Structure 1
Amino acid sequence: MTDLEAGPRLTRVWKNFGLPALGLTTTVGLWWLITAAFNVDPFFVPSPGDVTNAFLRVPSYLLEESWITLKRVLIGFLIAVAGGLTLAVVLAASHTVERMFLPVLAAVNAVPKVALAPLLLVWMGFGDSPKIVMVVLVSFFPVIVSTMAGLTSAPADLRELARSLRASWWQTFVKVRLVWALPQVFVGIKVATPLAIIGAVIGEVVSPDHGLGSVIAGSGASNDTPLAFAALVLLAIMGVALFYLMVGVERLLVPWARAINS
């Protein structure tokens, strides 16, 4: 590798890994400094050391509960993405259907999901089902909105070009409108990723059987704030990992979008 090739590569490594690591280190350092300088009671805000000790007390328990939450998030998120994409395609394909049902979807999205959590327990009982449904309810609307925005924003000249080439409606939709919409689709998916985790935690806090939400609820009842913060840190790690996983999928499937925006 020549020096000319090494320079840009080191710059990319620094931007992709060095800067995030520096930001994380700075944040943890400020957190520790504030708790130490102001002698904050761990009952209110534990230090990074207190959180680490809480994790080391019960690592297998926390990891097991993390897996339960992650499983619920992934199942609900996949359902939300599949359902959101399908509904968006149906709504974008017909102005009549869009005008009929988009207000209904907006009204459903406006209902506070916390208020629905007890009703889901009544309708579906305990277990994974109400938590997964909560994930779907919280995360599917951004996918619908962003996908519809992308499908309706395809330039008219591209659609006219497809018609001039005698492309069918379906070919125009798939090869022009859908391809053009992919960057917007991934915007909605990336927005929905942290919302899916929030939905799972809402369900687990309302019905604390298993999962990191139940750890937080139980820690609040037992005044174990460091353990609650350990669960919050694991949720944050989960959110970052899933978000960058979606970023990687986007770069794999839509590499041309990044080239256009750069």
Structure 2
Amino acid sequence: MSALRLAVVAAGLLLVWALIVRLSGVPPYILPGPELVLDAWTSHVPALARHGAVTFTEILLGLLAGTALGVVSALSVAGFRGARRWVLPVLVASQAIPVFALAPLLVLWLGYGMPSKVAMATLIIYFPVTVAFLDGLNRTDPAWLDLARTMTAGRGRAGRRAILWHVRVPAALPALASGLRVATAVAPIGAVVGEWVGSSAGLGYLMLHANGRMQIDLMFAALLTLAALSVLLYFTVDRLLRRLLPWQPERAFDRAA
């Protein structure tokens, strides 16, 4: 999506928001208008920048940690048959327990600082990255695998390792890219939930305290800042993945965007 289209979409959403506030007559302490939120944003730029930097750092570190952990887990399951019995239960358990229930425990164990928020983001990112990459590894074209087995000089474990790194991993990179896009979109959830449970900085912390003081315009300003950071991170990751995977075929929808 180009910057112009993104600006048009944002302007359209702001227009709909302003019309809803104007036509419904809803009081500002329930839904402030865009002009009130803009005033709150301009009045609290230093605080929003400081808390936004904390949240963005938590999201970025969680994205890196969750991606690394997911890639290692997928490679372990695909490359070592015995690892499947150990890794798959961890995958299931990571999604069977809601992260909202784990947030208080992580804050208790890791403290109110950044580590607990990074851990929350890592838990949310871990599953989509692992599943997407593992699915890509398992869906390698059988014809490629047969050809690789025929041409591989080494047999046994060495041959399987060579096929994994030279055939299956390159073929699975587009699937990994799809998992990374999903992970980037959901990464802010972990950081913000962790900040709501217990923190001393971050946009989630700012929203929680603004809500407690009935500063609804400031809460919306923090929410819009979080949305802007999330959109910026997503399109940055998407553009980077397109550059790193030039052989990945683009769908007609992607070319139109």
Compute the TM-score of the two structures, normalised by the length of structure 1: 0.90
Shift of 1:99: 3.7
**Equivalent residue letter for 1:235:** L
Correspondence for 2:68 among 82, 104, 111: 82
User: How far apart are residue 104 of structure 1 and its match?
Assistant: 3.1
Per the TM alignment, residue 16 of structure 1 is displaced from its structure 2 partner at its CA by 2.5
Q: CA deviation at 1:149?
A: 0.4
After TM superposition, list the pairs within 5 Å mapping 1:157-168 onto structure 2: 157-166=143-152, 168=159
1:47 is aligned to 2:47? no
1:73 and 2:59 matched: yes
1:246 to 229, 234, 237: 237
Q: Does 1:137 align with 2:123?
A: yes
C-alpha distance in 1, partners of 2:251/2:19?
Answer: 42
1:186 matched to 2:177? The reply is yes
Deviation of residue 108 (structure 1)? 2.5
Inter-partner Cα distance in structure 2 for 1:170 and 1:94: 9
Match of 1:150 in 2: 136
Q: Displacement, 1:114?
A: 1.3
Counterpart Cα distance in 2 of 1:255 and 1:46: 45
1:97 matched to 2:88? The reply is: no
Please give the residue correspondences for 1:195-214 in structure 2 after superposition, counting only pairs within 5 Å. Answer: 195-214=186-205
| Contact in 2 for aligned 1:139/1:196 (Cα 8 Å) | yes
Structure 1: distance between partners of 2:49 and 2:3:
25
The reply on whether 1:256 has 2:226 as its aligned counterpart is no
Offset of residue 260 of structure 1: 7.0
**RMSD of equivalent CA atoms:** 1.6
* Contact 1:146 1:185 (C-alpha < 8 Å) held by counterparts: yes
Q: Are residues 1:117 and 2:108 paired?
A: no
Aligned to 1:35: 21
Q: Distance in 2 between matches of 1:162 and 1:147?
A: 20
Q: Provide closer, same or farther for how the CA distance between residues 189 and 71 of structure 1 changes in structure 2, counting only shifts above 3 A.
A: same
**What is the letter of the counterpart of residue 141 of structure 1?**
F
Q: 2:5 aligned to 19, 24, 35, which one?
A: 19
The alpha-carbon distance between structure 1 residues 231 and 260, as it changes in their structure 2 partners (threshold 3 A), is: closer
Distance 2:34 2:70 in 1: 39
How much has 1:259 moved relative to structure 2?
4.3
Amino acid at match of 2:169: L
Cα distance in structure 1, aligned partners of 2:152 and 2:187 = 42
Which protein, 1 or 2, shows the higher relative CO under an 8 Å CA cutoff with sep ≥ 6? 2
The AA in structure 2 aligned to 1:38 is S
Q: Deviations over 1:196-247 (max 9, x none)?
A: 1110001111113100000011011101111111111011111111111111
Aligned residue type for 2:248: A
**Are the structure 2 counterparts of residues 96 and 150 from structure 1 closer, same or farther at C-alpha, using a change threshold of 3 Å?**
same
Give the conservation status (yes or no) of the 8 Å contact 2:129–2:180. yes
The change in CA–CA distance for 1:259 and 1:128 in structure 2 (over 3 A counts) is closer
- Matches of 1:183 and 1:46, distance apart in 2: 42
Identical amino acids, percent of aligned pairs: 33
Which deviates more from structure 2 when the two are superposed, residues 119-128 or residues 138-147? 119-128
Unpaired runs of 5+ residues, structure 2, are 154-158
The Cα offsets for residues 69-101 of structure 1, whole Å up to 9 and x where unpaired, read as 111111111011011101111012234322443
